Amino acid sequence: MDIREYEALEKARLERNLAYMEAGVNFIDLKMAYIDEGVKIGKGTTIYPCAVIEGDVTIGENCVIGQNTRIKDSVIGDGVTIQSSVILESKIGNETTVGPFAYLRPGSDIGNKCRVGDFVEIKNSKLGDGAKASHLTYVGDSDVGEKVNLGCGVVFVNYDGSKKYRSVVEDGAFIGCNVNLISPVNVGKGAYVAAGSTITEDVPDGALYVARSREKILEGWVEKKGILKKNK
């Protein structure tokens, strides 16, 4: 690309951004937003610097597209806030918050009023209305119901090295921190899974699932091993 081609592309980009602004879109920095031709953006939406919006994208009204966010071939509802995240070939419902540093891979379908927090990765999965995965969670090839809470460090173990499997977490279930769901499993409506558990079988509706080994305390073990002396 020579300088004239570059200047022509830059001129076209700024003209598109000006057209969006005239249609009611807000820009923190008009020159620092990168939006492909044909992207649809609703009134009242604010675009922060270094946002990249490419391909077949529709963004609703009154959204916030935060700095360093990338959106490609996706549909974003009204009132959505996305902070420093990557959204690819996915769908996000109304009044949902995403990020910072979330990754929605192709096939993700996020409902209304959901929370997809920091360092959450979702792939080919569905989150029902009101579901929350606030931080450090991986949801792969799974269907998560309405108002489900996924605690910190939850992992859907969907791949055994040769095949991928799908799990279901039904409405109102609570999945505690550091839980592994070994797909395929089904967690029933309103069920609770205790923190630190590994799920290898279906959990009935309204049940509490606990999968931990009994803890053991060996009094005086550090002194007997001479660890304190070694560390001095």
In angstroms, the CA 108 to CA 86 distance is 12
In angstroms, the CA 207 to CA 73 distance is 40
Q: Is the dihedral of CA 23, 28, 29, 32 positive or negative?
A: negative
The backbone torsions φ and ψ at residue 224, rounded to the nearest 5 degrees and listed phi first, read -65, -35
In angstroms, the CA 204 to CA 170 distance is 10
What's the token pair of residue 9? 């592309």
User: Which residue numbers are catalytic?
Assistant: 135
CA-CA distances (angstroms) from residue 126 to 63, 107, 110, 211?
Answer: 21, 8, 6, 26
CA-CA distances (angstroms) from residue 94 to 41, 80, 82, 104, 136?
Answer: 14, 6, 12, 16, 23
In angstroms, the CA 23 to CA 8 distance is 23
* SS3 state of residue 228: helix
CA-CA distances (angstroms) from residue 228 to 113, 225, 231?
Answer: 52, 8, 5
| Lookup result for tokens 């989150």 | 127
